[in-house]
Structure 1
Amino acid sequence: MNVPVDEVQFLAILVKRMYAKKTMETGVFPSYSLLATALALPDDGKIIAIHPDKEAYETGLPYMREAGVEHKIDFINSDDIQEAKWAPLISFSWTIRRRKDYIKYHEILLPLVKVGGVTAYDNTLWFDLVSLSKGDDMPVKYRPERLAVRELNEFLAKDARIETCLLSIRDGLTLCSRLTVV
């Protein structure tokens, strides 16, 4: 249950090239991508990290301390992304949990991302199951996730406030660049 190395390296380079100083991560288990983002930020950069399980965050904490990046992270122990509404404008947002809530998260996050900033969503190909014309031929437990990801992809494709790019890195990564003031 970890973000793949190639995906994390890609996002770290993106954060560096954006000269991001303020970012947000929704879902941090087990903190590998959080560490990579913290390493990509300048010394005065900040990450708002939201996750309901503090133990998941603490799994990676020794590595963040060893890397000297713990001071860059503001951890919020919560299951409610609404906790982020106070956040200053951010350059980059990374969402890696609760696919069924991705559209809701998008509507909350978009006003927090500055124009030209990027919001990234993980697992947007959902084991390539989103490409199936029907979900009847897959295990029942995957059907709600598949439907949620399909709805997200359709929603993002029609959202005129953003420009999107769906990358086939591992299980799918969608990047949304904010175009307009919300």
Structure 2
Amino acid sequence: MAMDSNKAISFSKGLLQSEELYQYVLETSVYPRELEPLRELRMLTTTHPRAMMATAPDAGQLMEMLLMLVNAQKTIEVGVFTGYSLLLTALSIPEDGKHGNEGSFDFAFVDADKVNYWNYHERLMKLLKVRGIVVYDNTLWRGTVALSKKSTLENKKSSRQFIIEFNKLLAGDSRVQISHALLGDGITIYRRIY
């Protein structure tokens, strides 16, 4: 399969074991259905010096499906880089849907400072409707959550520890149903159950 301008920002963004398999997923499932404004923004983001911070397009595809499954009308996003996930959300909710910071939300996406993930979780539990969905990005932190501290690059250690603690706290939170997904840099999806 020929690599073209749709080539992933970087293979290291994904957790799959082969670049070819990750590219296959993108080219057969994600890119053919990606709306043009999203494709344009993704391509522009590849030129940014911190392009690795962008939402992975395969994670975005799942987010789009989740938004539609819960019929999200009101959404919130914590942390915005170049706006791919924000634009995706805006294009996925009904025209009368809202993106804001007050009230009772159907869906939230969090891709912000890892040290505050638990604080965001506690705040979102107050804002999120029962059966609402939250997606957290980077919850496998390039696979370092499964490595020893010694094996982790120095610049990844601090956030790695916060992510490990967050994952443990979230796993023990009986108010939510959770699932880790091996998309992008790992995403955790939770549904508020009460």
For normalisation by structure 2, the TM-score amounts to: 0.71
Q: Which residue of 1 aligns with 2:186?
A: 172
SS in 1 for 2:118: helix
Q: Which residue of 2 aligns with 1:101?
A: 116
CA distance in 1, matches of 2:152, 2:78: 28
Deviates more, 1:138-147 or 1:120-129: 138-147
SS in 2 for 1:152: helix
Pairs within 5 Å for 1:34-53: 34-48=86-100
Structure 2 residue 63 is matched with structure 1 residue 11? yes
SS in 2 for 1:150: helix
Per residue, is there more strand in 1 or in 2?
A: 1
SS in 2 for 1:43: coil
SS in 1 for 2:161: helix
Give the aligned CA root-mean-square deviation in angstroms. 0.9
Q: Which residue of 2 aligns with 1:150?
A: 164
What amino acid is the match of 1:142?
Answer: K
Identity %: 36
Q: CA deviation at 1:137?
A: 2.3
SS in 2 for 1:159: coil
> Structure 2 unaligned runs (5+)?
1-52
Q: Which residue of 2 aligns with 1:23?
A: 75
Structure 2 residue 17 is matched with structure 1 residue 2? no
SS in 2 for 1:37: helix
For normalisation by structure 1, the TM-score amounts to: 0.76
CA distance in 2, matches of 1:127, 1:177: 24
CA distance in 1, matches of 2:140, 2:131: 24
Relative contact order (C-alpha < 8 Å, sep 6+): which is higher?
2
SS in 1 for 2:180: strand
Pairs within 5 Å for 1:50-69: none
CA distance in 2, matches of 1:142, 1:4: 19
- Deviations along 1:8-61, whole A, 9 cap, x unmatched? 11101110121110000011110011111001000000112xxxxxxxxxxxxx
Contact between 2:105 and 2:127, CA under 8 Å: does it hold in 1? yes
